[in-house]
């Protein structure tokens, strides 16, 4: 008998299951929206019925540190904003910051590109969030470890559970 499997990032992934378990354990106010996999933030927001600015875009970054091993950061900002890698590097006193490769993303997050939730489930991945994302809406929305499901979560519950370091990381 042949086992059918979903494409990467589609269907209930281990990250999705851990995330829902975490939200339930912390009594978060959230809802799951299953949808077709979509590529662009604006398209996903339309499918979710949310504003583009409510989208919590999680960018997996690698920091080249002076005289030290690289550090890894999950930088979270509004989906309608752009990440300023130079500002991120300066905040951590790194030589430079870059986006991780798809292989590094898979290794550190367990997700495919585009499915990374704004939570760090890996102690080697430091979580930072742009305060503007958290000030704009009472709920944030994000891909939940899979490309075909999103979670809409109360912003205050996100802050309470994820406890990101707040850093202005968006381009001005």
**Position 161 in a domain:** yes
Place of tokens 């378990």: 21
Does residue 13 have a pLDDT over 70?
yes
Query: What is the structure's pLDDT at 1?
Result: 35
**Position 131 in a domain:** yes
Give the residue numbers spanning the domain of 75.
Answer: 33-166
Does residue 136 have a pLDDT over 50?
yes
Tell me, what CATH number does 117's domain have? Answer: 3.90.960.10
**Position 10 in a domain:** no
Across 158-165, average pLDDT? 98
**Position 82 in a domain:** yes
CA nearest 79: which of 113, 30, 114, 107? 114
State what percent of residues in the chain have pLDDT above 70.
Answer: 93
**pTM beyond cutoff 0.85:** yes
**Position 38 in a domain:** yes
Does residue 8 have a pLDDT over 70?
no
**Position 18 in a domain:** no
Query: What is the structure's pLDDT at 43?
Result: 85
Query: What is the structure's pLDDT at 2?
Result: 33
**Position 54 in a domain:** yes
- How many helices (H) and strands (E) in the chain? 6, 8
Domain count for the chain, please give it.
Answer: 1
Q: What is the mean pLDDT of the chain?
A: 92
Band (pLDDT 50/70/90 cuts) for residue 11 is low
**Position 13 in a domain:** no
**Strand 165-166 and strand 125-129: pairing?**
parallel
Does residue 3 have a pLDDT over 50?
no
Q: Give the tokens for residue 110.
A: 């367990």
Query: What is the structure's pLDDT at 10?
Result: 62
Band (pLDDT 50/70/90 cuts) for residue 7 is low
């Amino acid at each position: 008998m042949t086992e059918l499997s979903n494409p990467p990032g589609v269907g209930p992934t281990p990250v999705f299951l851990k995330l829902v378990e975490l939200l339930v354990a912390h009594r978060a106010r959230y809802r799951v929206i299953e949808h077709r996999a979509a590529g662009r933030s604006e398209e996903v927001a339309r499918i979710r019925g949310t504003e583009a600015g409510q989208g919590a875009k999680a960018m997996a970054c690698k920091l080249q540190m002076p005289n030290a091993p690289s550090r890894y950061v999950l930088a979270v900002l509004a989906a309608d904003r752009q990440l300023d890698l130079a500002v991120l590097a300066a905040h951590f006193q790194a030589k430079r910051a870059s986006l991780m490769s798809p292989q590094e993303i898979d290794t550190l997050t367990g997700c495919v590109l585009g499915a990374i939730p704004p939570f760090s489930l890996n102690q080697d991945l430091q979580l930072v969030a742009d305060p503007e994302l958290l000030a704009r809406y009472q709920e944030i929305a994000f891909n939940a470890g899979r490309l075909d499901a999103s979670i809409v979560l109360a912003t205050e519950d996100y802050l309470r559970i994820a406890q990101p370091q707040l850093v202005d990381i968006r381009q001005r």
